[in-house]
Amino acid sequence: MSKIDVFISEEQIKQRVKELGEEITRDYKNSDRKLLLIAILKGSVVFLTDLMRNIDCDLMIDFMIVSSYGSGTSSSGNVKIVKDLDSSAYQHDILIVEDILDSGNTLSKVIEILKTRTPHSLKVCALLDKPDRRVSHVDLDYKGFEIPDEFIVGYGLDYDERYRNLPYIGVLTAENM
Ligand code: IMP
Ligand code: MG
């Protein structure tokens, strides 16, 4: 694996994920409903496993796989569910856990779909936010880091399925492609 410069270090990620977990714990600990964390595969897996261990509430996890189809290289607003939830979202407190919010196309569609399942509440947590790229509006309730418009990899995020196992977040450059 070629060397990628550190953009957000392991230590910075660890600290921020701890803070997010504490914030989420405060917001949900007095709820008498079950908290359901929903991660959208695959990029969010690393973040989910760290975040959930920093949340001190009763919770469940579930996964969705969605594919966005259409023309072009960036995601479109057409989202197809490839793997749906195993659990019911009905009357649960849902927290969607995402790696990165980019155009917002995928997430805004997923939110639309989940809202039809009448959860008790629905919030969104994203580790990274690239606001310059936004096309579809998404309300972010919990945000790790706001980043500029760069293509980043590591900590679950890939370039052509590579670099997900980097323990830190780095910016992809031409020599790493
Ligand atoms: P959106 O529908 O454009 O918001 O797409 C979001 C998805 O695109 C994320 O969940 C990531 O899987 C992927 N993505 C967006 N930006 C990056 C990036 O900089 N690096 C790696 N994956 C990215
Ligand atoms: Mg990806």
Q: Are 75 and 45 in contact (CB under 8 A)?
A: no
| CA dist., res. 36 & res. 165, Å (int) | 25
pLDDT at 74 (0 to 100): 60
- What mean pLDDT is predicted for residues 121-125? 98
> In 3-state terms, what secondary structure has residue 46?
helix
> In 3-state terms, what secondary structure has residue 58?
coil
pTM comes to: 0.94
Closest ligand 1 atom number to CA of residue 98: 10
Q: Are 127 and 47 in contact (CB under 8 A)?
A: yes
| CA dist., res. 136 & res. 68, Å (int) | 14
| CA dist., res. 102 & res. 7, Å (int) | 17
What end-to-end distance do the CA atoms of the chain give, in Å?
11
Catalytic residue among 50, 93, 102, 129: 102
| CA dist., res. 86 & res. 134, Å (int) | 30
Q: Per-residue pLDDT tens for 67-113? A: 876 555 566 667 889 999 999 999 999 999 999 999 999 999 999 99
Tokens for 91, please give them: 């009357």
Residue with CA at minimum distance from ligand 1 atom 11:
100
21 CA from centroid of ligand 2 (Å): 23
Q: Which of 128, 68, 123 is nearest to 101 (CA)?
A: 128
Q: Which of 68, 61, 44, 54 is nearest to 126 (CA)?
A: 44
pLDDT at 68 (0 to 100): 76
For residue 146, report the phi and psi dihedrals to the nearest 5 degrees. Answer: -95, 130
pLDDT at 77 (0 to 100): 65
Q: Per-residue pLDDT tens for 38-65? A: 999 999 999 999 999 999 999 999 999 9
107 CA from centroid of ligand 2 (Å): 13
